[in-house]
Amino acid sequence: MSDVRESVMPTEVRAVRLLLFGLAFLGLVVVLVLSEELTSYGLGELVAPWTLVWVCALLALRYDGGARGGVRITTIVVMVFVLVGSFNQVFDATAPAEFVDAALRIAAGVPVVVLLFLPEATAWFDREN
């Protein structure tokens, strides 16, 4: 008989999902608010890191049923790319909107990476069917 605890997603993984969904929604709001005053080049610079966040949110949809370690590692790697770019953008920000844009990704991205490295999250993705 299967253990009930194995089929319930740990709190850490649920928190990652909520952070990623919230960050994806915030990204949509940021892009819509800031897109009016940007050129096409500026819009591309704005949308590029958010696209990676949206990819992570799509990966989070797979966390419940058949997700394994590859989904977890892919999310971590993509979020690290987002964080590196965001840290660069924070230090090179010339406008308050650029700073806030990057700070949002950092504020929600760091906990995502940390939570996915916790033993409970690792055990969830390494479980048997």
Domains of the chain, start order: 10-125 (1.20.1440)
49 closest CA partner among 94, 108, 115? 108
- For residue 25 the two structure tokens come to 């929604």
**pLDDT for 93:** 82
The separation between CA 96 and the C-alpha centre of its own chain, rounded to angstroms, equals: 22
Helix (H, G, I), strand (E, B) or coil at 92: coil
Length of the chain: 129
Residue 33 has pLDDT above 50, yes or no: yes
| pTM of the predicted structure, to 2 decimals | 0.86
Helix (H, G, I), strand (E, B) or coil at 66: coil
Q: Which residue has the tokens 């920000």?
A: 93
pLDDT digits (tens, 9 = 90+) for 50-80: 999 999 999 998 888 777 778 889 999 999 9
**Comparison of pLDDT for 47 and 68, the residue scoring more:** 47
Q: Which residue has the tokens 């950092």?
A: 106
- For residue 109 the two structure tokens come to 């991205």
| Spatial distance between the Cα atoms of 65 and 85, rounded to a whole number of angstroms | 31
| Spatial distance between the Cα atoms of 39 and 83, rounded to a whole number of angstroms | 24
